[in-house]
Chain A
Amino acid sequence: MSDSRSLYEKMILDHYKNPRNYGKIQAADKIVEAVNPLCGDTFTLYIMFNDDRINALQFTGSGCAISKASASLMTELLTGKSRHEANKIADAFQEMLRTEPDAPIAEEELGMLAAFAGVREFPIRIKCATLAWRALIRCFDDEKEGGDVAATD
């Protein structure tokens, strides 16, 4: 296992210290809780849809650098995307995190998410990196089933 400092890329620290799209959306179509009971990290996602497209995506809450930066970057990357496109990006991100630490990554496809490649060295932190993403995708899935949108793990 390598040095943890490889985990804290500049981009990740920047998003942690200056989270993008941080704050409530009063008129949100969906409000989703993302909770990791193991560490107490808790985020709330606020989503506005325009038909199938994510028109606005914001978040509030607290967590570690990895979980907060990942939530922040997610709001940037997925705003304006269709549910299908958002799912594809989330899948690619989670797929990359499941690969071996030294496996090559599809940098072009992942874009800024490639900064999280270092998380693969620290399996316990993968849940941090994917916390907000899993809550959002579960919300899409639950919409299809007409179920509850609250999500924890």
Chain B
Amino acid sequence: MGQPHYTGDHIRKDFPILDTRIHDKPLIYLDNAATTQKPQCVIDAVTRYYTTQNANIHRGIHTLSEAATAKYEAVRQRVGAFIGADANYTVVFVRGATEAINLAAHGFARAWIKANDEILITGMEHHANIVPWQLLCEATDATLRVVPLNETGELNMDEFDRLLNERTKLVALTHASNVLGTVNPVQDICAKARAQGAVSLIDGAQSAPHTPINVAAMDADFFVFSGHKMYGPTGIGVLCGRTEWLERMPPYQGGGGAIHSVTFEKTTFAEPPRKFEAGTPHIAGVLGLGAAIDYVSGIGIDAIAAHERELLLYATDALADIEGVTLIGAARKKVGILSFTMDGIHPHDIAQLLDSHGIAIRAGHHCAQPLMQFYGIHATARASFALYNTQEEIESLANALRAVREVFA
């Protein structure tokens, strides 16, 4: 059985939680699209900050504060380098991809969008990339348009071309679907949006941890992702935006850190990114994210992508072999996400029974109800892979699914 070329036990040993037993069976963690596990180096970075480095940033003229500020800002540089952001971009730290999209939508509503403008999203978006735009449309009387999918779970690009027009002010879409795994042709889409004078926002929550990202080559105006889905802490995420746009956008929140000067008559705001980082940020989270990026870079995102592609192919074959299993989403280009249903067995029952085998998957609508409606289902079961998963674990999943069938036979 082909062990992943780069990995082996030492990768799994980096993740202490993988030694956990669930119902006296080894944990098989296949819910990585929800959140990934954390390597010891990330846990250590967070602990080290609180143990020996804790101080507020950008404020104190004392050693600890200066050191914390330098470390925090160094992560900003490393994040930019990791996603290929060149000098035209600025990295803003936020709580996660959801907050990043809300920040962008808030800024655009005030700075750019008028009545009868159009926002273009797709039929495979997570609620986080639907609801903020609906709120924006309500506030501005703009119109939300949706690019439909094909049955395979790929965007209908003819429809995209038809829907993109001179009223389109913004195109927001996911780089990789959290349900189908579909990788969208974002470079092509960003180029078309730009040619039409529209701004682009790419939701990289499911792509940044699993595939090489180059924001400058993609030519996206905004790229967002969450730290906790790429082996980092919860509560930290990134909005990477073109600086020219961030300069035009009003602040998302007012407060300390985001300002240049304050009088009771008028406040002038700091330049981005600080304009968007009011209040004391999640410093420990940023340092943990830095450790996660170093960890991923150390293994190599290309190697991770190759490993996960192997797992996906292996799992696709293994599950397709099981009677009664229907795979949802058959895009040509996918990240390691496999959604499926089983005849006569509700996804919640599948997930519940897999749990008794120590296997963690997700079941539900995955915060993508419009996508469920497209497929005429309420929910799917979803297995999603990360760099530490193995083919043996996928075999265990397949065997457990056969046992689930037995229970309901």
- Chain A interface (Cβ < 8 Å from any Cβ of B): 1-5, 7-8, 13, 16-17, 38-42, 62-66, 68, 122, 125, 128
If A7-B352, A125-B352 touch, whether A13 touches B407 (CB-CB below 8 Å) is: yes
The reply to whether B348 and A39 contact each other, CB–CB distance below 8 Å, is yes
Q: Within 8 Å CB of A41, what residues of B?
A: 378
Query: Interface size bucket, B side?
Result: 10 to 19
A130 to nearest B CB, angstroms? Answer: 15
Whether B353 sits at the interface, judged by CB under 8 Å, is yes
Q: Which residue of B lies closest to A4 (CB)?
A: B356
Q: What 0/1 readout, one digit per residue, does chain B (333-351) give for beta carbons within 8 Å of chain A?
A: 0000000000011111100
The reply to whether B378 and A62 contact each other, CB–CB distance below 8 Å, is yes
* 17 contacts across the A-B interface (CB closer than 8 A): A1-B23, A3-B356, A4-B356, A13-B408, A16-B408, A17-B344, A17-B408, A40-B364, A40-B365, A40-B369, A40-B372, A40-B378, A63-B346, A64-B347, A64-B348, A65-B349, A125-B352
Whether B355 sits at the interface, judged by CB under 8 Å, is yes
The reply to whether B356 and A5 contact each other, CB–CB distance below 8 Å, is yes
Q: Which residue of B lies closest to A7 (CB)?
A: B352
A65 to nearest B CB, angstroms? Answer: 5
Q: What 0/1 readout, one digit per residue, does chain B (314-350) give for beta carbons within 8 Å of chain A?
A: 0000000000000000000000000000001111110
If A39-B378, A40-B378 touch, whether A122 touches B352 (CB-CB below 8 Å) is: yes
Question: In chain B, residues 1-45, which have Cβ atoms closer than 8 Å to a Cβ of chain A?
Answer: 23
Residue from A1, A40, A68, A128 in contact with B379 in the complex, judged by beta carbons closer than 8 Å: A40
The reply to whether B407 and A39 contact each other, CB–CB distance below 8 Å, is no
Q: Within 8 Å CB of B349, what residues of A?
A: 8, 64-66
- Docked pose: A2 CA to B379 CA in angstroms: 25
- Docked pose: A128 CA to B352 CA in angstroms: 13
B168 to nearest A CB, angstroms? Answer: 32
If A39-B348, A40-B372, A65-B346 touch, whether A5 touches B378 (CB-CB below 8 Å) is: no
The reply to whether A8 and B346 contact each other, CB–CB distance below 8 Å, is no
Q: Within 8 Å CB of A2, what residues of B?
A: 23
Q: Which residue of A lies closest to B378 (CB)?
A: A40
- Docked pose: A63 CA to B365 CA in angstroms: 13
The reply to whether B346 and A64 contact each other, CB–CB distance below 8 Å, is yes
Q: Within 8 Å CB of B345, what residues of A?
A: 65
- Docked pose: A65 CA to B345 CA in angstroms: 8
- Docked pose: A2 CA to B356 CA in angstroms: 8
The reply to whether A4 and B378 contact each other, CB–CB distance below 8 Å, is no
